[in-house]
Each structure stands twice: as structure tokens, then as C-alpha cells.
Amino acid sequence: MRRITLKELAKELDLSISTISKALNDSHEISSETKAKIRELAELRNYQPNVQAKFLKLGKTNNIGVIISTIVNPFQAQVIEAMHKEAMKYGFNLILMQSLDSEEMEEKAIQTLLHHGVDGILISPAFCNSNIELLTSLNNNDCPIVIFDRITSDLNTFKIGIDNFKSVYNAVIELLNIKRDKIALLCGKNIGISQERISGFITALKDNSLEIDPKMIVQCRHDYCSEEIDKDLKIKITELISSDNRPNAILGTTDTLTTRVLGILADMKISVPEDIAVIGFSNSDIVNSLNPSLSTILQPTYKIAELAFEKMIELVNTKNRQRLNIKSILLDTSIQLRQSTAVY
Amino acid sequence: MRRITLKELAKELDLSISTISKALNDSHEISSETKAKIRELAELRNYQPNVQAKFLKLGKTNNIGVIISTIVNPFQAQVIEAMHKEAMKYGFNLILMQSLDSEEMEEKAIQTLLHHGVDGILISPAFCNSNIELLTSLNNNDCPIVIFDRITSDLNTFKIGIDNFKSVYNAVIELLNIKRDKIALLCGKNIGISQERISGFITALKDNSLEIDPKMIVQCRHDYCSEEIDKDLKIKITELISSDNRPNAILGTTDTLTTRVLGILADMKISVPEDIAVIGFSNSDIVNSLNPSLSTILQPTYKIAELAFEKMIELVNTKNRQRLNIKSILLDTSIQLRQSTAVY
DNA sequence: TTGTAAGCGTTATCAG
DNA sequence: CTGATAACGCTTACAA
């Protein structure tokens, strides 16, 4: 059961260690007969190279670090699942870290990854430009960084996310199509992407000659403690409802906010979609099972993960990274209309 | 920015590499003055030991592998989050793998972990006794295994989970308290723990002199493809509703099944809890936001993760594992009553 | 085409 | 108390 080494294979075949090593690495220096012989025995003995030794020698680890806010979030869990598949495809391992939206935790996560040894870091930053100096310095030296999801960072590297402006713009248009013109926008505090989503919101209204009421753009708590989010959201929604400019639609810009709105409106005996239509960003499976089922803006998690990982591999495999053609990639979202916007 | 090594510290202080190494490992062989001097410089230069080298030498990796079904499941995501915290506490890294409830994938995951190098594996098996021979062999040799969550395995090692029998028994009692005596039980196909949950169900009914109708114990699909689950569940629930022994309560035994029931009942215009009360296992935050809010059986995810990791560390640190007092730990769940069982 | 030997950064043994 | 040296398993000049 113990792991077999090159040395043991060498002894058994009466060859040198380097011959074995070269053969298994398919070097041109080795004759095909010896290769075949060696491979056969390696197979038989179930030889598995010792990763620690290999990477000590090569200065690579085949580990990619991923830092997200929290795995307890359907969207991020989906991204991680997809990245995981990508990692396996490329023969890399994923080391997962969570920042819980805190810059300190995030720094600690980065340090842990560095310490453990990773060839690169994929990160969805705690917030806009969190740990930017550290990341910049890493990216300029030995540890390439790729940013995904929360891509409003000044770091000069690949950034893979969605077109936030366009996504919200289109969602507003959908609401206008069902004659809902008094739309409240729920935003996460401190998240860089909120700004673009707000722009999309404002522009869509302007393009349709509607007035913008600043009170309709609501900043909500977005920690990862669900009770706090609920409490805060309840207050904010109550304010909206009781204002003179009462909304007839709500657009949520984060997964957590979106899925929580329905419960709160139900508590308040407000019917959806009759009184208020609801739509928002969410990648949770559960939107189908909500009552009413929830219309959503769906992010292409698999594509995001795939591209981000692809770019990471590209960086890892490139000697002269300065010469790479760095760019941001903005993917399209899709809108899934369900009962929460089904107004006839 | 490049990483500093023992050698460089040694040169700078004009000492030998071994002295530096020993000092940083707080060996008693080194005088406190030299230790202090060395530590100071190490701090200054931000020395970080090379993990690959260290573990190549020591034959340990400080990696713990975790295999779950899928991260896209609130319960499992919570467990992973908690395990993650535990891992950091003990200075270990978590390598996450997903089996997607397939024995083949699970075997591949195990092989990948082994290949990459882990000191132990924490696993929630794809199903009862999946890959049991492989796991047994590993556990008896170099790679300790701890089982969590799905603990109906014949492997002789620590198993940390909940008391399934008792949890369901108590949930049934709650339903009987609100005078719901025609209870349908939704079970996941092929999951070992289902059996115990069914026993709890049957015993609770018997203890209350109620008849057991086998048709009320429904085996549902439990793959990780949500559309399929929904479709299957819809059929099963329709059958229940239209049977002569129509239930007045539904008890879901998995997170996915439980949270999906409400949406399906809503589609059928069946009111919850008036027509049918609903309760079930779920650790999702979202149960509060559902309409009606959903009564749940909550699993102590943090405790499960904590204990499982603790046991793993114990195993990893024990030379003579045969002599350890192996045992299963069954934790209690808690019942959270909400509107889906609020019958007055 | 194959083998020798050095070295990756540690720790551990043993000698001074 | 400190230092020289070997070893962990692998890759890779360079030598044969």
C-alpha cells in the first residue's frame, strides 16, 4: 500500500533513476522499448509521483487559490463548483479561502495561500480595491492574480465578470414592459459592482423619460449574517412602502437581497406581483420553489469560472507576463421571467 | 519579494542552516540569545518556511481532503464553511472534492486526494458503503478516514452525524401535536440515512397507535440536477394528493426535498399549513423568506464539522491508531417551528 | 540512449 | 550549544 518511488522502480528494472524519470515524462532521450517497459511496471505497481517532491524541484505547486466572500451563497457556491471542475480538467488543485467580506480576513487568506504555496490566486475581492497594494505586488512578481465576479478593481490583470450595467438596464426594461414605472433598487453596501448596476438603473429610467427618485435607490446591509440582513432589509422596505412615492416594483441586485424580499413582503401582506413586482439577481435553484416563483437575472456562473480559470492557466504558463494582452471580459446575463413579474 | 530561505538567513547571520532551523522550531538545543537573534531576522525578512520542502522531508502534507456530494447544497456548504474554519485553526488546508453522489466520481476524488497528498480524508459518502473496500484499506494503512453526515457506513472509524431516528421521531410528534395524523414522509433514494429516518417515522406513529400506510413513505429522486428533482417530486406529490388517504402533513427528509415542496404545493393551489402542514430537514437560510415560512429540523453543522475535524486531527497525530477508542457520535437536531406548521 | 550527480528547502542524526 | 552531513523524491545538466 505504501507509495512506490522512482528509486524502487529503478532497482527493480536495474536502470537508473533518471532513466525512469525521463521515461515517465516521455522524454525523447529514451528509447521506446525502455519507455514501454518502464511504463508497464509503473502501471503495475501503481506508481504515483510524489507531488511535494516534484513541486519542490520545479518551484510550482499545481495549487490555485480561490478567495470568495462566503461559500454559503448560492452564486458563489456555483462558481466554486464550476472552478472545481475546471481545476480537475487542468490537473490543478483548488485551495478555497473565504474573506467574509472583510479586508483583514482577505489579507489573511492571501497570506495563507502564499504560505501554503499556490501558483496563482483567483479572487472575488471583499470590496472595491481591497488589499490592492498586496495584490498588485503579487501580480507583478511571482503570483499571478485573476479577478472574477467583483471586477471593479484597479489591478491590471484579467477580470471576468458580467455586464452589470446592461443586466440591470434590461431588467428595468422588463419591468417597464409590464407597466411598472416606480421601481426601487436594492443595492449591497460597499460592493464595487453596485455602482455600475445603479448606472444601468438610472440610464434605463432616463432613456424612458422617467424621473429618478434617489430614495428609490436603497443601500442595504450585505454582511454574511442573515438575521442582520433580514432586519435591515425589513426596515428599508417598510420605509419604501410607507413613502409617498410607493414603488410598484423592486429590483434586487444581490442574490441574498433578492431571495429575502418575498418573505418580507409576505409578512407585510403585500401581494406579489399585484402590488409590487419583484425581480433580481439570483442564481439560487430555489427561486422556482418560492411562492410566487421569482423572476431572476441569472449569471453564467459556469462560463465565469471557466474563463477565469483559463486565463489563470494562461498566466501560470507564461514566462513573460508583461507581454500578455490583459483585458476584462464582460459576460451577458439572462433574464428568467416567472410569477413575481407575471402581471397581466 | 521572492521567498527567503533558511540558507539566506544562515548566511546573513553567519550561522549554520541547521542552527537556524532548530531555532525557528524552538529546539532546546539552541541558546535563547541565538534564538532571539534568529527570530528577529526571520521576522524582519518575513521568512516563511517552504511547505513543499518541509512536507517532503516529514512525509506529511498538512492537507486534509474533504469529500461531499455537492457544494451546491446549503447544508453541505455550511459544513464546508465550518470545516474550513477548523482547518485554519489547526493550521491545515482543506482540499475539497465533490462526488455528486456517484461512486465513480467518489473514487476519482479519493484518488486525486491521495495523489495530491493528504494526511487524512473526511468524507460524507456518496451512499451507504460506497467505495468501502478502498476506504477500509486506506484507513487501515497510511490515510485515516473520518465519516460525517452520512454515517451509515460499515467502516470502522469515527463517524459524526445526527441522530436521524430521534430527529424524525420528534418532528412527527410536533405534527401530532397540531393534530396532523396523516403524514407523508419524503425520502431521498439510495441515501443510507433514510432508513433510520424511516424507522423514526414508523416508531413515532406506532407509539401513538397510528396505522402505517406504506404509500405515505415516498422515495424521491435525489440527484443533484434540480429540474429532475422537481419533476419527480411533482409527480410523487400529485399521487399523494389524489390518493384516498390524502395526507394532511408532509415531512421532508432532505434539504432539497423540503425546500421544494412549498413551491409545488403552491402551484397546485394547496394551502400550507391549512390543507397540508410542512416540516422537514433544512439548514438553508431561505426558509425564513419562504411563503409561508418553513418549519425545519436544523442540523448542528458547525458542531458536526468541529467534531469531525477534531477526530481527524486526533487520528493524524496518533502513531498507533489501532488503540484509539473509535466511536460514532450522534448529535441532536433542533426543531424550528414556523408558519408552515402554524395551525391554530 | 543511458547514467551520474547536483540541487530544490527542509529536518534529523551525530559529531564537535 | 552549534555545525556538518545525509536524506526526503524528483528533475535536469552534463558525462559516458
Mean pLDDT of B32-52: 89
CB contact under 8 A, A2 and B141: yes
Give pLDDT, residue A216.
Answer: 94
User: Nearest CA of chain B to the CA of A161: how many Å?
Assistant: 20
Q: Per residue in A254-286, pLDDT tens?
A: 888 888 898 899 889 999 999 999 999 999 888
Indicate if A295 and A168 belong to the same structural domain.
yes
Q: Is residue A276 part of a domain?
A: yes
Q: State which residue has its Cα closest to the C1' atom of C2.
A: A19
The number of distinct structural domains making up chain A is 3
Task: Look over chain B and give the mean of its residue pLDDT values, rounded to a whole number.
Answer: 90
- Say which DSSP state A339 is in: G
Do the beta carbons of residue A251 and residue A281 sit within 8 Å?
no
Give pLDDT, residue B116.
Answer: 83
* Cβ contact A21 with chain D strand, < 7 A: yes
Distance B22 CA to D6 C1' (A): 17
Q: Per residue in B141-190, pLDDT tens?
A: 879 999 999 998 999 999 999 999 999 999 999 999 999 999 999 998 76
Q: Is residue B1 part of a domain?
A: no
* Cβ contact A60 with chain D strand, < 7 A: no
Decide which of A307 and B319 is more confident: A307
Mean pLDDT of B269-276: 93
Indicate if A69 and A182 belong to the same structural domain.
no
Decide which of B56 and A308 is more confident: A308
Indicate if B172 and B198 belong to the same structural domain.
yes
Distance B3 CA to D10 C1' (A): 21
Indicate if B121 and B109 belong to the same structural domain.
yes
Q: Search chain B and give the residue with CA nearest A138.
A: B1
DSSP assignments along A7-63, one per residue: HHHHHHHT--HHHHHHHHTT-TTS-HHHHHHHHHHHHHTT----HHHHHHHHT---E
- Beta-strand relationship, A159-162 and A328-331: parallel
Q: Which domain holds residue B10?
A: 6-49
Determine if the pTM surpasses 0.75: yes
Mean pLDDT of B52-70: 90
CB neighbour list of residue A230: distance below 8 Å, 6 or more residues apart? A260, A264, B288, B289
* Cβ contact A5 with chain D strand, < 7 A: yes
CB neighbour list of residue A153: distance below 8 Å, 6 or more residues apart? A125, A128, A129, A132, A135, A147, A159, A192
- Beta-strand relationship, B334-336 and B295-298: antiparallel
Indicate if B214 and B280 belong to the same structural domain.
yes
- Checking each nucleotide's C1' against the CA of A4, the nearest proves to be D9
Indicate if B246 and B266 belong to the same structural domain.
yes
CA separation for the pair B279, B339 (Å, rounded): 10
- Checking each nucleotide's C1' against the CA of B3, the nearest proves to be C9
Q: Is residue B288 part of a domain?
A: yes
Q: Is residue B244 part of a domain?
A: yes
The pLDDT profile of chain A, 344 residues, written as one tens digit per residue, is: 567 899 999 988 999 999 999 999 998 989 888 999 999 999 998 888 888 898 889 888 888 999 999 998 889 999 999 999 999 888 888 999 999 889 999 999 998 888 888 999 999 999 889 999 999 999 988 799 999 999 989 999 999 999 999 999 999 999 999 999 999 999 987 666 778 899 999 999 999 999 999 999 999 887 666 777 788 889 999 999 999 999 999 999 988 888 889 889 988 999 999 999 999 999 988 888 888 899 999 999 999 999 999 999 999 988 777 777 888 999 999 999 999 999 87
CATH number at residue B189: 3.40.50.2300
pLDDT tier, B311 (very low <50, low <70, confident <90, very high otherwise): very high
Give pLDDT, residue B248.
Answer: 95
Give pLDDT, residue B272.
Answer: 92
pLDDT at B16 exceeding the cut of 70: yes
Task: Provide the positions of strand D that have an atom within 7 A of a protein CB.
Answer: 1-14
Strand D proximal residues, A:238-297, Cβ < 7 Å: none
Give pLDDT, residue A191.
Answer: 66
Give pLDDT, residue A224.
Answer: 63
pLDDT tier, B125 (very low <50, low <70, confident <90, very high otherwise): very high
Considering only CB atoms, A259 lies closest to which of B71, B97, B286, namely B286
Indicate if A157 and A179 belong to the same structural domain.
no
Indicate if A65 and A148 belong to the same structural domain.
yes
Indicate if A44 and A110 belong to the same structural domain.
no
Q: Is residue B68 part of a domain?
A: yes
- Beta-strand relationship, A295-298 and A334-336: antiparallel
Indicate if A104 and A230 belong to the same structural domain.
no
Indicate if B227 and B198 belong to the same structural domain.
yes
Exposed e or buried b per residue across B176-213, where buried means at least 16 C-beta atoms within 10 angstroms of its C-beta: bebebebbbbbbbeebbbbebbbebbbbbbeeeeeeee
Chain B residues closer than 8 Å to A48 by CB: 114-115
Give pLDDT, residue A76.
Answer: 93
Q: Is residue B80 part of a domain?
A: yes
Q: Is residue A1 part of a domain?
A: no
Indicate if B128 and B41 belong to the same structural domain.
no
Decide which of A291 and B132 is more confident: B132
